[in-house]
Structure 1
Amino acid sequence: MSATAKKSSQARKTLQLVLIAVAALVLAGNFIIKSLGDDVAPAEGAEGSALSALDSLTVREAATKDGYDREADFGSAWQDTDDNGCDTRNDMLQRDLEDIKFSTGDACEVASGTLNDPYTGETIAFERGENSGDVQIDHVVALMNAWTTGAADWDKEKRVAIANDPLNLVASDGPANMGKGAKDASEWLPDNQAYRCEYVARQIAVKTEYGLWVTPAEHDAMEDVLTSCPAEPLPLPTP
């Protein structure tokens, strides 16, 4: 092959490589633009989704915390509101833990088990005793938050119900639960991002079930989370 032919062949190969590279960049650019568009575009929640339910909640500023008293207003922890012979904490441990063992001679009291913690994504070994607090039962809608978004006007029976409702309860990492405190979604979300959609959806389900409102900041934070998962279903109340 002559030198001229070799140069021509090399030029064609170089051009082909350039065209391939340009095509790849175009495709990548389209993908990035589409992804960004998906992230920023408002999501329309389908019927039955948490996002759709969020749109139906009343939005108003929080009421005062004055008068709030956890035990006086929501009852002592934990009660047996479903009359199954077990208190709510042990009911939730039985529901959320794996490899459960019961205390000797007690069909209710959970002695040990394993929690796949939704808030941190970590696996926690639970053992009743001095380290029982490693696993706590979180009120997904904190009781003080409930108080300032409608529960202050309820009777005691309804407040006790929300405090012991499995829909509003999740076994979780103790320190994470303590860190959350009474914060709403605008102030606190689980470190485990894979659980945030489900977490916010459960808060919306509780607020829908009990007729609570959301603050403007709380609404916006919930909407921001659900924009990435607009089809996240609204959890159903426990039968």
Structure 2
Amino acid sequence: MKTSLLVLLLVGVLSSGRAHAQQRINFDEFYTVKEPTANVATQETTSTPIDLFWDQVDEAVEWGSRVYSLLSFDHHQATFGNVLEPYNRMKHFGTWIAANDPQGRCGNTRAAVLRRDSSTNVTMSPSGCTVSRGTWEDPYTGGRFTDARDLQIDHFVPLKNAYISGADKWNKKKRCLYANYLGNKFHLLAVEGTENMRKSDRGPDGYVPPNRAYQCQYLAQWLKVKVIWSLGLTPPEKAAIEELVQDNHCTATELAYTQSDLAKQRRFIADNKDLCQ
């Protein structure tokens, strides 16, 4: 009996060790999306084949706001991903907050996203705190849903991915804001629950949505979140994105971003730095 108990304890310890190991990644280099204002003097800039097709960008785009490619990267030779403290959702990011309820009542960020993404007026629960019905188009699967119970709110760049790619250095308020961010319509998305669980915390090197028509937009939004929050990309993550861009024949226009849009997002972050108390 004592021997069996000892074996179980050892298995538990080893399993716990493996779980912690799985939460850590370690590279001796990483990438960031190159910003127009970046100081390139101390950084090695890499470009991709998409730059050769930059003339595809619609001339109607306001060039005065400095349009740039999301597929231009700065290379950093430094240790990346091996955070000191293993990721813990509740400890590091907290949960949904009620501060995003426009009525200032009990509705939390989940309810706010469901209201925003529904193409029809939503039906609230008797308590008025949660959304029960509406009409949602899931961009990941292309499916249409009317029951909110079928949906989960996806952090487009998952919390764990954000944590190990830079958010571990933020304070708790900033991480909470990231977890509840409504500064744009793609940071948080209402998607089919099973598909969201299939995505889990994986990046484009491990997951892309089955809806092929959405994949170029998915890649662009992934890179936008990364640059808005100054998060890094691992070498496999960057390589997968570049390969998927080519495989899906994504255009330069789809992978473009403007300096003014980036500035608006950074301003929203600054203006809401105390949203979480």
User: TM-score by structure 1 length?
Assistant: 0.70
Find the aligned partners of 1:120 and 1:183 in 2 and give their Cα distance: 17
Distance 1:144 1:162, change over 3 A: same
Moved more, 208-217 or 62-71: 62-71
Letter in 2 for 1:43: I
Deviation at 1:104, TM superposition (A): 5.7
Distance 1:99 1:140, change over 3 A: same
Tell me the number of residue pairs that the alignment of Structure 1 and Structure 2 aligns.
191
Q: Name the residue aligned to 1:231.
A: 253
Q: Name the residue aligned to 1:140.
A: 156
Letter in 1 for 2:138: D
Of the two, which has the highest radius of gyration?
Answer: 1
On the 8 A contact 1:65/1:148 being kept in 2, the answer is no
Find the aligned partners of 1:126 and 1:223 in 2 and give their Cα distance: 36
Q: Name the residue aligned to 2:175.
A: 159
Distance 1:83 1:56, change over 3 A: farther
Q: Name the residue aligned to 1:193.
A: 212
Distance 1:104 1:79, change over 3 A: closer
Identity of aligned residues (%): 34
Find the aligned partners of 2:101 and 2:220 in 1 and give their Cα distance: 28
Q: Name the residue aligned to 1:213.
A: 232
On the 8 A contact 1:142/1:183 being kept in 2, the answer is yes
Letter in 2 for 1:79: I
Q: Name the residue aligned to 1:88.
A: 109
Distance 1:43 1:199, change over 3 A: same
On the 8 A contact 1:186/1:222 being kept in 2, the answer is yes
Q: Name the residue aligned to 1:55.
A: 72
On the 8 A contact 2:125/2:131 being kept in 1, the answer is no
Find the aligned partners of 2:71 and 2:199 in 1 and give their Cα distance: 21
On the 8 A contact 1:65/1:147 being kept in 2, the answer is no
Q: Name the residue aligned to 1:71.
A: 90
Q: Name the residue aligned to 1:12.
A: none
Q: Secondary structure at the match of 2:210?
A: coil
Find the aligned partners of 1:110 and 1:83 in 2 and give their Cα distance: 12
On the 8 A contact 2:101/2:109 being kept in 1, the answer is no
Q: Secondary structure at the match of 1:191?
A: coil
On the 8 A contact 1:118/1:172 being kept in 2, the answer is yes
Runs of 4+ in 1 over 4 A off after TM superposition: 57-61, 104-108
1:182 and 2:201 aligned: yes
Distance 1:188 1:57, change over 3 A: farther
Find the aligned partners of 2:135 and 2:126 in 1 and give their Cα distance: 21
Q: Name the residue aligned to 1:3.
A: none
Distance 1:179 1:152, change over 3 A: same
User: Cα deviations across residues 82-117 of structure 1 (Å, max 9, x unaligned)?
Assistant: 463241111110111222332266666322012211
Find the aligned partners of 1:155 and 1:183 in 2 and give their Cα distance: 24
User: Cα deviations across residues 18-37 of structure 1 (Å, max 9, x unaligned)?
Assistant: xxxxxxxxxxxxxxxxxxxx
RMSD (CA atoms): 2.6
Distance 1:57 1:185, change over 3 A: farther
Aligned mate of 2:118, from 89, 97, 112: 97
Distance 1:125 1:95, change over 3 A: same
Q: Name the residue aligned to 1:5.
A: none
Letter in 2 for 1:212: L
